[in-house]
Structure 1
Amino acid sequence: MTLTKDTTIIGFVGIGVMGKSMAGHLLKAGYQVLVYNRTKASAEDLINTGAVWQDTIAELAGKSNVIITMVGYPKDVEEVYLGTDGIINHAKSGSYLIDMTTSSPDLSKKIYEKALTLGMYALDAPVSGGDVGAKEARLAIMVGGDKDAFEAMLPIFNCLGKNIVLQGKAGAGQYTKMCNQIAIASNMIGVCEAMAYAQKAGLSPETVLKSIETGAAASFSLSNLAPRMLVNNFEPGFYVKHFIKDMTIALESAEQMGLYTPGLALAKTLYEKLADRGEENSGTQALFKLYLETES
């Protein structure tokens, strides 16, 4: 089935920090968007600008021909897609199912296979770029699935991101996102330690940033999250609890492959320590608090 903007009805499940901006971009692009979230209040702004609320996932799935999900954990993805009242059991044949949650590669493959038996096209398409990338529609989108389905959905992906790559078959998007999270995990430790070191040395961390954020140490975390750390802004662009979830998935899949990942294991330990201090709903830059607590 060839979809045009006029014939596309997008169902969007999960109106959180990322999903709200993403669904908003689709509305602004002129798509008809149906929305579902566990709490309707989170979707009120979208409803006021033209999104149509659906009372259940089953209702949304039955009315849409493209369904995008952006939920929390693999268990949520499994329930949303494979549960009795989930998408697979209620979507129409020919529908495109796009999970943009960071989830398990094995689960993505399972959803793909199940969808295929029912004439549906499933893509795993996790993203990177945080709240800023979502708001500015410049997310990196890593896609796993069939090339024809990917190409059919490119106009939609182009509304959400700037760096959109088909990585391979089902599950490849999730494996790629794990590479992304592994790189971030150790980098966040380095950013926090660098800012703590600057303070301890009696330097102005803000001035230090001017020198190092464009050199060999440059990274998204250094340019976008270090400034938040330094003004005690620990609001979530990406939740600590979700980062721990991602690192857990990455460690489990690395273990399956027989890969040693000590940097990832250390980062997960530090973030779990942070969560134990009540910071699970803070942004990942809150790791800096551990360094402030341990200054001697």
Structure 2
Amino acid sequence: MGKSKIAFIGTGVMGASIVKHLLRNEYDVAVYTRTKAKAVSLVEMGATWAETVREAVAGADVIFTMVGYPTDVEEVYFGEDGIFAGGREGQIAVDMTTSSPALAKRIAEKATMLKMASIDAPVSGGDVGAQNGTLSIMCGGDEQVFERILPILSIFGKQIVYQGVAGAGQHTKMCNQIAIATNMIGVCEALAYAEHAGLDAETVLASISSGAAGSWSLSNLAPRMLQGDFEPGFYVKHFLKDMNIALQEAEAMNLMLPGLQLAREMYDKLVEQGFSDKGTQVLYKSYN
């Protein structure tokens, strides 16, 4: 049996790198994104451009989506020209957008009605992880379906874990974002302290990044902070969206998350200052 034909909806900062991995592994990939210019390099590599979501998914066996917000996911799946309008029996839809667990369940229910299948599979690792093919992928849905798409996920992911039923992948991503949000405050405060103490911050990083304080953000984003590089590996506006989802879910579970609430307040202020389209490491500007 030949390789699955793939449709990929959304070729932003991370999506484009994922598509490149698929093309290098000789997959037939049709792409659609609202801004066609973002897909030009992919078409030059061999991807097929589709004018609509429906056109992209028509011939696909596996459909990947990686868009911005839950409202975008809603449109891509349930819109009149969306995946479910143009889908067919046997297709597998994999949503890698960080979105609402409740929406992931709705997608799974609709897919089942149409004799399709779905997996919620949000990722972590940012632009670096996407470029290097080392993303962490958190999956929810039917385990047999997960096993079927695992060889494809392995092309661009390193830590790929089945978490449980539909929505479990999204809940796991919320755990990930909660940990990152408060850790990011710690990273910024550590650097600010180092600089105010008259230390060489890069030398401090050499000591603390491999010790008990070590984290992905400390190793990958702290150097960018020190260089004044606030370009996005992951947008502030999308991180804020994730924090809002997590706080809504926590409220529904009667769970207080004061650290996450503080982080959201700080990122809200950055949005007010015009930093929506910068990377999450721009939080460092709050300290200098």
Q: Same fold by TM (over 0.5)?
A: yes
Counterpart residue identity of residue 214, structure 2? A
Deviation at 1:174, TM superposition (A): 0.1
Q: Distance in 2 between matches of 1:282 and 1:70?
A: 19
Deviation at 1:62, TM superposition (A): 1.4
Q: Distance in 2 between matches of 1:25 and 1:101?
A: 18
**Partner residue in 1 for 2:25:** 29
Map residues 116-131 of structure 1 onto 2, 5 A cutoff: 116-131=112-127
Q: Identity of counterpart residues, as a percentage? A: 60
Map residues 158-237 of structure 1 onto 2, 5 A cutoff: 158-237=154-233
- Post-superposition Cα deviations, 1:107-152, rounded to whole Å, max 9, x if no partner, equal 0000000000110010000000000000000000000000110000
Q: Distance in 1 between matches of 2:5 and 2:190?
A: 47
1:266 pairs with 2:262: yes
Q: Distance in 1 between matches of 2:78 and 2:3?
A: 26
My pick for the range that moved more, 33-42 or 6-15, is 6-15
1:246 pairs with 2:250: no
SS in 1 for 2:161: strand
Counterpart residue identity of residue 74, structure 2? E
Deviation at 1:60, TM superposition (A): 1.0
Which residues of structure 2 form unaligned runs of 5+? none
Counterpart residue identity of residue 29, structure 1? N
1:139 pairs with 2:135: yes
Give the structure-2-normalised TM-score.
0.99
SS in 2 for 1:11: strand
Deviation at 1:84, TM superposition (A): 1.1
**Partner residue in 1 for 2:16:** 20
Give the structure-1-normalised TM-score.
0.96
Instruction: Kindly indicate whether the alpha-carbon contact (under 8 Å) linking 1:99 and 1:123 is maintained by their aligned counterparts in 2.
Output: yes
Which residues of structure 1 form unaligned runs of 5+? none
Instruction: Kindly indicate whether the alpha-carbon contact (under 8 Å) linking 1:64 and 1:95 is maintained by their aligned counterparts in 2.
Output: yes
**Partner residue in 2 for 1:48:** 44
Matched pairs, number: 288
Counterpart residue identity of residue 200, structure 1? H
**Partner residue in 2 for 1:95:** 91
Q: Distance in 2 between matches of 1:144 and 1:187?
A: 25
